[in-house]
Chain A
Amino acid sequence: MISKVDRRDFIKITGIAGAGLLLGFPLKSKASGLDAGEGVFSPNAFLQISSDGSIVIWAKNPEIGQGVKTSLPMIIAEELEADWQKVEIRQAGLDERMGSQFAGGSTAIKNNWETLRMAGATARVMLVAAAATRWDVAYAECKASNAIVTHEPTGRKLTYGELADAASQQAIPPIVDLKQPRDFKLLGQSIPGVDNKAIATGQPIFGLDAKPKGMLTAVIARSPVYGGKVKKILDSEALKVSGVVQIVEITPTENPTMLVSGVAVIAKNTWAAIKGREALQIEWEPGAGAEESSTRIKNQFLQNVAQKGSIPLRDDGNVDEAFAEAAKTVEATYEVPFLYHATMEPMNYIADVKADKVECWGPTQVPGRVAGIAEMLTGIPRANVKVNQSRTGGGFGRRLMADYAAEAIFLSKAIQQPVQVVWTREDDLLNDFFRPNGIYKLKASIDNTGHISGWHINASTTSRGMFSGSRDSPHTTEVFPDGFPAGFVPNFRMEYSPVQSVVPRGAWRAPGHNATAFVDQTFLDELATAAGKDPVAMRLEILGKEEKQMHYRDHGGPFYNTKRLRQVIELVAEKSGWYQRAPQGIYRGFAAHFMFGAYVAEVLELTMSASGVPQVVRVHVAVDCGIVVNRAGALAQIEGGIVDGLGAALYGGVTIENGAAAQRNFDTYRLIRYKEAPEVITYLVDSTENPEGLGEMSLPPVSAALCNAIFAATGRRIYKLPVKDNELFQNI
């Protein structure tokens, strides 16, 4: 546990040297309407204290529903010793003084933990030093709490507001004391989302709600098949639609994650743009992708896993010998579909490109990438690109791509007016970057002592890394050679073969893991059955009693700790009553997973209706994510991830026919609904380890826990997702 951070390290961490430390440069507070003479204490880009005592903290990262507009400022407020009830939280725009600003990989909390603590603590130390100077007493005799500094021996007090001006004259402290976790007052509490009231009263806080003066709306016709290009445009009918202003063709970029070929109907309002697009006649050059289908891709997968994988990833011991000497072998082939992101706020973005500057608004997980694209498409230097961060109606990885922002920038540049690009739900589904589909062929052996002696996985997926043109090996986004039970099974082989396709693929909540946890954790369940063991007991047996740091080369590594994994498994087993017989009519399934630094174990309970429809009634989940920042936020992420993961496992799946998605809207792409959602009971491990993000990790194990419970109920194994695509469950 780091308790002291050198300021030079801090500056290295944050990259806010100079520019961020506005000491001796008191700003005038606009918001508070103070007299011009009064100062404002703004020691770094993250916070500002005015002489009237008002405190503003900036939320640096995109808020996409993961709660960072609340949790990141909480970290600052804790070290600052501010009174949370009185702090005003403002969303920051893209601002290089704040370091990297993005939403992805569940990294916001862990990557900003020290930086934001330092930001708050630096300000606190300067306020306390200002008070000590004012009273002419020792620094150590003064204490900050609730935005007040107290001289403990005499009980004298000064508020932060009273100290703001003097604090801004203080030297920057070379070393800053961070609080000990046991002294945290705010962190670990349940703090409601800072935008709750704005949301509950319908304030215009989302990207789609923004409307800069003079804004027009664009709805874009894109190729009906992936990779198609505009050949001929007949726009006379579209231009007749009242409200339609202009038709603009979009030139595609070479990389399909940026701009695809299209024709934009630009209108005075959304409905006119939608109607205008309906009236547009376009002849398309379909290109090579017009024949693409799920069947073609699946055949390719099957061919691949029938032979040696093109990329060998791990080969411990001798798998062939283990299989030859086995008491028993088990084989299974798993299949997962393309998944649609389905953010409730469809893609949309606003750009206002002027001769020498650009301003943007809209939902994104990557404001920095938007700025880079703006520079690339307009030639206007990044320093003159302003990116405002709107509250974002869901991300789930979809908005790591900024294709729709590129469209807005392209169009605004073309017509020299602010334009909002609006995608309909049909646009959003067809032009998604899907979770890759794949096939995973597994074989394992159990020796005559009842232990797993060999494990062989041969996987083939439509690698998303390969789609976006990443230089990394195409397996890195798909499978994890160090994932449990690798390293425990003495003979272990993993191989992989990518399949390329025109179908767009991208990161989907818990990328890679959302498929591998299903595969590994259902297969383990099947092996436990084959070995005649309890599934929980078998995992604990594999992990062993001794604490080990397991090598883990993927995100969340370089190690994972067996004791922490063991602890969540034991915790959920105990709390859910796993070792007692399940109540009549309740069937249970278990799964556990490590990803992105956090440990999760789940016990799922379901009932079966008379017609054989599983209803998930309850999910028990134990999580070790280190220190919990916002308890309510953590619980929400865990619950939401479980509900979301269940929906995807039960119903989610995109099929490709004739070069395009066969599903169009929520009538054909089914999402989980209220009546299908279970109760979720969460157990958080008390920990003083540094905090890990929580946006993704509860999701991966739930599909396996579900399918293992279905096995408990029916004796049938599910090898193919979604569950509804299995013959037995077609009526769900």
Chain B
Amino acid sequence: MPIYTLQINNRTVEVEADPDTPLLWVLRDELELKGTKFGCGKAQCGACTVHLNGAAVRSCVLPVSALEYAQITTIEGLSADGSHPVQQAWMEVDVPQCGYCQAGQIMSAAALIERNSNPSDKDIAAAMSGNICRCGTYPRIKQAVLLAAKYARK
């Protein structure tokens, strides 16, 4: 099996994997980064969202062979201590219910706020509607995104 060199959370790592292995399973099974979640495997639910060169992408459909030299950030790389404004806002607003979708939600929100720290309701809806939450935490996600944007502006 080929060996790939990846840039994950500002570290350089080497992994041996089949070329078509989705990044999701490389993160979870090879690198023990379990924060990125498996939800659908089909780019439908957003549970597996990570940042690829700063943009929110679905890691379940990204083959590892396409990712050399790309900058990848996972939920673990956002901040280990929860100090990122989006993580802060998520905890303060008490968004999670079961919590399973939330890493993906946070990653989508973080990518949004990174490029737009004053998002409109429409911007938020566009950025967050790719992430499903079966627990129905959407009303609090809205509050948390607005709060995170406020923190980011400071």
Interface residue ranges, A against B (CB under 8 Å): 63-67, 190, 192-193, 195-197, 199-206, 208-209, 211, 217, 242, 269-272, 275, 342-346, 391-396, 422, 424-425, 632, 636-637, 639-644, 647, 665-667, 671-675, 677-680
A674 touches B129 (CB 8 A): yes
B134 touches A342 (CB 8 A): yes
User: B45 — nearest CB in chain A belongs to which residue?
Assistant: A666
In chain B, residues 13-69, which have Cβ atoms closer than 8 Å to a Cβ of chain A?
Answer: 17-18, 21-22, 25, 28-30, 32-42, 44-45, 47
A636 touches B36 (CB 8 A): no
Q: Identify A67's interface contact among B95, B97, B129, B134, CB under 8 A.
A: B97
Question: Given A199-B103, A208-B37, 15 other A-B contacts at CB below 8 A?
Answer: A192-B94, A193-B96, A193-B99, A195-B99, A201-B82, A201-B87, A202-B76, A204-B32, A270-B25, A270-B38, A342-B134, A345-B98, A422-B38, A641-B136, A666-B132
Known contacts: A65-B97, A344-B45. The answer to whether A673 contacts B82 by CB under 8 A is: no
B91 touches A196 (CB 8 A): yes
- Judged by a CB distance under 8 angstroms, whether B128 is at the interface is yes
A639 touches B35 (CB 8 A): no
Report A-chain residues with C-beta under 8 Å of the C-beta of B99. 65, 193, 195-196, 199, 205-206, 391, 393
B132 touches A671 (CB 8 A): yes
- What are 30 A-B interface contacts by the 8 Å CB criterion? A65-B99, A66-B97, A192-B91, A192-B92, A195-B96, A201-B76, A202-B34, A202-B35, A202-B78, A205-B99, A206-B99, A208-B38, A209-B34, A269-B29, A344-B132, A345-B98, A422-B38, A425-B42, A425-B44, A425-B45, A632-B94, A640-B97, A643-B138, A666-B42, A666-B45, A667-B44, A673-B130, A674-B124, A674-B133, A674-B138
- Judged by a CB distance under 8 angstroms, whether B113 is at the interface is no
Number of A-B contacts (CB under 8 A): 195
User: A681 — nearest CB in chain B belongs to which residue?
Assistant: B139
Report A-chain residues with C-beta under 8 Å of the C-beta of B79. 201
User: A267 — nearest CB in chain B belongs to which residue?
Assistant: B29
4 tightest Cβ-Cβ pairs between the two chains A and B: A202-B35, A65-B98, A393-B100, A643-B136
Q: Identify B139's interface contact among A63, A66, A196, A643, CB under 8 A.
A: A643
Report A-chain residues with C-beta under 8 Å of the C-beta of B41. 424-425, 665
Q: Bound complex: CA of A637 vs CA of B30, how far in Å?
A: 36
Contact with A along B67-102 (1 / 0, CB 8 A): 000000011101111100001001110111111111
Q: Identify B100's interface contact among A206, A424, A632, A672, CB under 8 A.
A: A206
Task: With both chains docked as a complex, state the minimum distance between the C-beta of B5 and any C-beta of chain A, in angstroms.
Answer: 19
Q: Bound complex: CA of A642 vs CA of B135, how far in Å?
A: 10
B134 touches A202 (CB 8 A): no
Q: Bound complex: CA of A437 vs CA of B44, how far in Å?
A: 26
Report A-chain residues with C-beta under 8 Å of the C-beta of B125. 674-675
Report B-chain residues with C-beta under 8 Å of the C-beta of A205. 99
Q: Bound complex: CA of A217 vs CA of B103, how far in Å?
A: 23
- Judged by a CB distance under 8 angstroms, whether B140 is at the interface is yes
B82 touches A636 (CB 8 A): no
User: B106 — nearest CB in chain A belongs to which residue?
Assistant: A200
Report A-chain residues with C-beta under 8 Å of the C-beta of B124. 674
Q: Identify A396's interface contact among B25, B32, B134, CB under 8 A.
A: B134
A202 touches B135 (CB 8 A): no
Task: With both chains docked as a complex, state the minimum distance between the C-beta of A135 and any C-beta of chain B, in angstroms.
Answer: 41
- Judged by a CB distance under 8 angstroms, whether B137 is at the interface is yes
Q: Bound complex: CA of A208 vs CA of B35, how far in Å?
A: 10
User: A396 — nearest CB in chain B belongs to which residue?
Assistant: B134
User: B76 — nearest CB in chain A belongs to which residue?
Assistant: A202
B29 touches A270 (CB 8 A): yes
A665 touches B40 (CB 8 A): yes
Task: With both chains docked as a complex, state the minimum distance between the C-beta of B35 and any C-beta of chain A, in angstroms.
Answer: 2
The size class of the interface chain B forms with chain A is 35 or more
A673 touches B132 (CB 8 A): yes
A425 touches B40 (CB 8 A): yes
Report B-chain residues with C-beta under 8 Å of the C-beta of A674. 124-125, 128-129, 131, 133, 138, 141-142
Q: Identify A197's interface contact among B91, B126, B129, CB under 8 A.
A: B91
Q: Bound complex: CA of A330 vs CA of B96, how far in Å?
A: 44
A196 touches B29 (CB 8 A): no
Report A-chain residues with C-beta under 8 Å of the C-beta of B97. 65-67, 636-637, 640
Task: With both chains docked as a complex, state the minimum distance between the C-beta of B22 and any C-beta of chain A, in angstroms.
Answer: 7
A644 touches B134 (CB 8 A): yes
User: A205 — nearest CB in chain B belongs to which residue?
Assistant: B99
Q: Bound complex: CA of A203 vs CA of B79, how far in Å?
A: 12
Q: Bound complex: CA of A66 vs CA of B79, how far in Å?
A: 27
A201 touches B80 (CB 8 A): yes
B136 touches A644 (CB 8 A): yes
Q: Bound complex: CA of A647 vs CA of B138, how far in Å?
A: 12
Task: With both chains docked as a complex, state the minimum distance between the C-beta of A343 and any C-beta of chain B, in angstroms.
Answer: 6
Task: With both chains docked as a complex, state the minimum distance between the C-beta of B20 and any C-beta of chain A, in angstroms.
Answer: 8
In chain B, residues 98-154, which have Cβ atoms closer than 8 Å to a Cβ of chain A?
Answer: 98-103, 106, 124-126, 128-142
Task: With both chains docked as a complex, state the minimum distance between the C-beta of A186 and any C-beta of chain B, in angstroms.
Answer: 16
A425 touches B137 (CB 8 A): no
A672 touches B102 (CB 8 A): no
Q: Bound complex: CA of A205 vs CA of B96, how far in Å?
A: 13
User: B121 — nearest CB in chain A belongs to which residue?
Assistant: A675
Identify the interface centre among B92, B125, B132: most chain A CB within 10 Å of its CB: B132
Task: With both chains docked as a complex, state the minimum distance between the C-beta of A11 and any C-beta of chain B, in angstroms.
Answer: 34
Identify the interface centre among A201, A275, A679: most chain B CB within 10 Å of its CB: A201
Identify the interface centre among B33, B38, B101: most chain A CB within 10 Å of its CB: B38
User: B25 — nearest CB in chain A belongs to which residue?
Assistant: A271
Q: Bound complex: CA of A667 vs CA of B41, how far in Å?
A: 11
A200 touches B36 (CB 8 A): no
User: A70 — nearest CB in chain B belongs to which residue?
Assistant: B94
Task: With both chains docked as a complex, state the minimum distance between the C-beta of A556 and any C-beta of chain B, in angstroms.
Answer: 22
User: B81 — nearest CB in chain A belongs to which residue?
Assistant: A201
Q: Bound complex: CA of A197 vs CA of B90, how far in Å?
A: 9
Q: Bound complex: CA of A642 vs CA of B139, how far in Å?
A: 11
Known contacts: A195-B99, A271-B18, A344-B98. The answer to whether A203 contacts B136 by CB under 8 A is: no
